Structure 1
């Protein structure tokens, strides 16, 4: 076996696994691997953003677009601690990347050297990572690296995806051992389990007896790339589809059978279909509080009166919030292929069977459109939120990748955006971290260099992570950031208004001396970094700004002033116990 340094082994393993990028920031703790990465720079490119959290969000978004994992590299102590947010975000949304963190040399373990965590165990950084990764590995010798690397890669991509951490003492990067590269991982042939014949028959029997079925699909369907099978199944039988934000685009969202998101800020037809359905087949979803109206019967769902088939590759999700009539552990794509094959032989399951149900849903579509569509053409200054969403829907091309940050703007896009392709609407949903949308769009652009990549982000979230402009300019990434500028932590301010009799504190952006609304000049900020910057305060300016940004193919910030007093119309509910649950603004709950 050849003698190899630990850093060389890691670099060569990344080459073997065809990992194209490492997103990371240098530090004294990882300088020992940088020379090895220099040696493979023609095959693995090191991209260095200005903050470690950004590196993690970039890697997360890269996987969501490409479904191929990349790696991050951070130094000992604070640099790696900055990764906690992005790892938690990826874990919550079943995304993945390999977080390589550095630690103190093994000879200094438990001696309190620079940046060691040692209060409970020597070199205890893995304890920090444990809650936010699928698995943490800590090889302390070079000959431990091959097994750790292979297991880490397999763990990332097998079953429900999730990020992993490899925490490596500094000396392991530079020490040598007689080692060989580990065998290839499961990256290209991860197991994809299917349902049993009996379970498929049971699902078809439930469909045969149903009159008002719906599909509810989430990120599990997106990750399995089950969109073609879901679309074929939905259209063959005329069954409507409700989507979580990370499931959007699996079926064409302009299809009349696509009902959109469900819950407090869901679309009215989706909540109505959930309330009145008699069978829900859910694929790759979790029934979290926001997609279930905090589990209150009649607001979004009516379990157990409504029968539930719950399909997920992760057995721990089956029955977590609603006991299923039938729980199935299966890959979404494999399951849908099985269902398509099975339904072809069933004469008692045909599209005509659900015609009345589709007519009822069309009526709800018409009610909803009559209520919301007039505002999509409103010409006001500042701009109406509906106008911004509707204009972007018309102006952005079909192949756009949209990255959304946490904030009130996300509620508007969940409710009204129609994603046209899978893996094209990126959301921090489970952990809802601010900064994901701002930073992740850089990783999306690297994953899809020929596609337009646009991030719609709040003024608060952008102010947290403005360093992204430096990275975009340095690496010539033609990303467009649209800053939803409402001079507030708008989503939380709206909660204060709704739950505390209109009292507000700590959520508006004001100048302390003048009392005037305050934000930086985001367009000037962009220009100072070497990017393009534009400000939009009137509706007539928006189209020209978008067209110029897409045409120029340069990093660009468009500062859009949006009316903060217009709030998304709630069609479900969302409770923050012990506070009471607000009633829907449009529509009424129905308890079966």
Structure 2
């Protein structure tokens, strides 16, 4: 028996447990949309493909499941590219299914085809950032390709893949047995762990070290290994620092949680890592911002500090720092083995009360220094007060998305995250425009959780049509627009080093300019409040949560940089030997 590929694709996705698809229509994919009409899979319609990709990214992170994007050829595919690349650099599993030109028109340059260098080559656009890009050349090959696509996206180091499908192939029939045989193939692959001998060697190094530190990245969250990490930390009493992507891997109120390293880290956290004699690194790629541009006087001092590194991706082990012991393994399983071996070698465990007290004193000192900003009643508001009041209002298990700029930097440094996986941030690509749509994806994935997007006016302005999707689907996300009338981080850099803000601040007729985002929200059919004083903010946020509706809060914020003790060597490019960083700007 034969049936249309478009219909069999939908049934295949249902069989895989896919519940939502994010995308936008085009003449090349409406066969699939038509097949979805009677499916239990919900199609989430957007106004721009970048929104679809970022929503799918947020959804995959919050649901811990591979997301699916459906897009059109040419401009649809390129519009989605930024969101897909963001997912790739943060190792988020995603399957992008894109319509393509009819296969019988290859080389004729049909409507919207990209073929300036070779015929029928639009799929090659994604090659630099997806794990693999397929073009389906024959209908009978489609079933095995879609199966391979999910398997590759989900295994090893996760990431997006592309399946580019000529529109005529969607509308061709193939024998149902080609899809039926896929049901006999496993949908979950067993992942590698570490052996007892390797675990014993690592634990021996850890317990003999004088000042060990565990350093964790986003790999802990991808492996769903937060509990296993905590078990090891609790037994051996070793302090934990994290990268931006590793934030939340251990609760920020854990007595051995240090905080985020690098450019936006504090002196205490960076010094603790730099002065460690041994670091156990778990699921991190040691990125530039987290490592103060890899300069040894600021955050990490390898090889003086010895490094043990475990990661699912062998390419990351030794990429930026020399490794004494390296292991390729799934972190959940590896940590289970390490903890078991640690309990065998140190049955009584280690409390490390002295260092816990040092952390308590450091956090209290930081809190006191920050208090003057948190209690500042001026308007525009201090970013520290905005972050403090958001944290006070939200439940511990609320989901937070950030964009880029002061919101991301401030959250990384001083916004406590208590539940693993509840902060979604664009780490690897640092994509402006991620936070607002990612929050929609997170809310669809976790409908019973409060979801708040902390986003700048520049970031929200990238794709305000997220509000159309929120209104149509009634997705009760709250957007807190931290509005400094500028691309604030870049404006602060430019002012500090070049004495100007040309092209980085928003002006009209010589005066600061911003759209009324609350009014824009209302025009889309979404609730919106424009804050007029600092005292209005917290009650407005409470009201937004209680309303259980999509809600925009537009709050003017000082363009005040988060203080940093780390280093980013672009400062030396701008102003050699001057130790200049950012400066504050007034609205």
TM above 0.5:
yes
Quote the residue 1:344 is aligned against: 343
User: Cα gap change, 1:365/1:277 in structure 2, threshold over 3 Å: closer, same or farther?
Assistant: farther
For 1:82-481, list aligned pairs within 5 A: 82-180=79-177, 181=179, 182-184=181-183, 189-347=188-346, 350-352=349-351, 354-481=352-479
Measure how far apart 1:408 and its partner are.
2.0
Distance 1:219 1:186 in 2: 29
- Is the Cα contact below 8 Å between 2:20 and 2:42 reproduced in 1? yes
Quote the residue 1:510 is aligned against: 507
Distance 2:573 2:139 in 1: 53
Quote the residue 2:585 is aligned against: none
Quote the residue 2:18 is aligned against: 19
| CA shift digits 1:103-124 (9 cap, x unpaired) | 1111000111111222222210
Distance 1:568 1:163 in 2: 33
| CA RMSD across the alignment | 1.9
**Which ranges of structure 1 fall in alignment gaps of 5 or more residues?**
587-592
- Is the Cα contact below 8 Å between 1:98 and 1:153 reproduced in 2? yes
Measure how far apart 1:360 and its partner are.
4.4
Moved over 6 A (4+): none
User: Cα gap change, 1:387/1:28 in structure 2, threshold over 3 Å: closer, same or farther?
Assistant: same
Query: What is the aligned length?
Result: 578
TM-score (norm 1): 0.94
Deviates more, 1:100-109 or 1:259-268: 259-268
2:519 is equivalent to residue 521 of structure 1: no
Measure how far apart 1:72 and its partner are.
1.0
Distance 1:361 1:385 in 2: 24
| CA shift digits 1:266-288 (9 cap, x unpaired) | 13332121121111111110101
Distance 1:131 1:456 in 2: 30
User: Cα gap change, 1:349/1:242 in structure 2, threshold over 3 Å: closer, same or farther?
Assistant: farther
**Which ranges of structure 2 fall in alignment gaps of 5 or more residues?**
583-587
The SS at the match of 2:507 is coil
- Is the Cα contact below 8 Å between 1:457 and 1:481 reproduced in 2? yes
- Is the Cα contact below 8 Å between 1:453 and 1:480 reproduced in 2? yes
Measure how far apart 1:257 and its partner are.
1.2
Distance 1:585 1:438 in 2: 28
For 1:472-491, list aligned pairs within 5 A: 472-491=470-489
Distance 1:424 1:214 in 2: 24
2:545 is equivalent to residue 550 of structure 1: yes
- Is the Cα contact below 8 Å between 2:196 and 2:341 reproduced in 1? no
The SS at the match of 1:165 is strand
Measure how far apart 1:364 and its partner are.
3.6
- Is the Cα contact below 8 Å between 1:158 and 1:186 reproduced in 2? no
- Is the Cα contact below 8 Å between 1:570 and 1:584 reproduced in 2? no
